Structure 1
Amino acid sequence: MKNVIATLAGLMVAAIITFGIESLSSNIFPLPDGADPTNMEWLKNNIDLIPTGAMILVAFAHFIGIVIGMLVAGLISRTSLIPAYIVGVLMLAGTIANLVMIPHPTWFMVVDILGVFVGICIGKSVAAKKLNKSDKQAIEQ
C-alpha cells in the first residue's frame, strides 16, 4: 500500500510542478493577443506563435517535474524504486502523447525528450538515495 501511495503522490507532485511552471511560462513570455493555449486546435495551428522562451520553460517543466516527482515517490516508498520508475515512465508517456497530438518544432521535440530522459536518470539517482540502507545494497548487487 505504501508503494501505491508513493506512486500516486509522486505523480501528483510531478503533474502539479509541471503544470505550475507551464502556467508561469505564459506569464513570463506573454502569448499573442487572441491566443488560447487551452484549445487543442489553436495550439495545432499556431504553435509557431508561442515564444521560444515559453517553449524552453515548458521543456524545463517536464524535466524538473519528473525529477521532483520521482524524488517524492522515493521519499515515501523508502523500500523500492518501482514507484519512482512508474512516475518517470508515465510522465514520459504524457510527454510523448503531447508531442504526437500537437505538432512541435523539431528542436523542441529533441530538447524535450532529451530533458525527460535526463530527468528520469537524475530522478532515479535522487530517489535511490532515499531508500533504506539495506534496500540500497540489494539494488546495487
Structure 2
Amino acid sequence: MLRTILGVVLGAIVGVVVIGVVEGAGHTIFPPPLGVNLTDPAQLSTVMSRITFPAKVAVLLAWIFGTLAGAATANVVAGRRAWAGRIVTLVILALAVFNMTTIPHPAWFMAAAVLGVLAAGALADRAFGKPRL
C-alpha cells in the first residue's frame, strides 16, 4: 500500500514537471502574441483565438507526454500496480479539465486533450502495469 501511495505521489510530480517542461519549450518555440499578459485571467479568456495552431498542439503534447511519464513512473514505483498509474492519469485529466473550464479552449482541443490523456494513461497501463496472462 505504501508503494502505491508513493508511486501516485511521485508519478503526479513527474507528470506535472514533464508538462511544465514541454509547455515551456512550446511557449519558447511558439511565443504568445505580442502584448498579451499570460498572468491576467481577463486576457487569457480572449487570447485563445489569437494563439497559433502549433502552440495549441504543443500544449496538447505536453499534457499527453506528462500523463505518459507520470503514469509510467507511478506504475513502476508501485511495483507495476496499474492502479497507481490510473490514479495519476485521472489527476492529470482533472487538472486538464479544470484548465479547459477556466480558460476557454476550442472544442477540437478539448476532445483531443481528453482522448489523448486517456490514451497516454492506457499506454502506460499496458506497458508498465502487471503483465496480462
Aligned to 1:83: 84
Who wins on radius of gyration, i.e. which is larger? 1
Instruction: Name the aligned partner's letter for residue 49 of structure 2.
Output: D
* Residue 98 of structure 1 pairs with residue 75 of structure 2: no
Aligned-pair distance for 1:36? 2.0
Aligned to 1:32: 33
- The more displaced of 36-45 and 8-17 is 36-45
* Residue 119 of structure 1 pairs with residue 115 of structure 2: no
Cα distance in structure 2, aligned partners of 1:87 and 1:53: 27
Instruction: Name the aligned partner's letter for residue 54 of structure 1.
Output: A
C-alpha RMSD over aligned residues: 1.5
Cα distance in structure 2, aligned partners of 1:114 and 1:80: 23
Cα distance in structure 2, aligned partners of 1:40 and 1:111: 23
Question: Structure 2 stretches of 5 or more lacking a match?
Answer: none
Aligned-pair distance for 1:24? 1.2
Which residues in structure 2 correspond to 1:2-17 (within 5 Å)?
Answer: 2-17=3-18
Instruction: Name the aligned partner's letter for residue 22 of structure 2.
Output: I
Cα distance in structure 2, aligned partners of 1:12 and 1:110: 25
Aligned to 2:109: 108
SS, match of residue 49 in structure 1: coil
Aligned-pair distance for 1:40? 2.3
SS, match of residue 66 in structure 2: helix
Aligned-pair distance for 1:44? 0.7
Q: How many residues align?
A: 132
SS, match of residue 48 in structure 1: coil
Cα distance in structure 2, aligned partners of 1:22 and 1:106: 20
* Residue 23 of structure 1 pairs with residue 24 of structure 2: yes
Aligned to 1:46: 47
Cα distance in structure 2, aligned partners of 1:69 and 1:38: 26
Cα distance in structure 2, aligned partners of 1:41 and 1:2: 42
Question: Structure 1 stretches of 5 or more lacking a match?
Answer: none
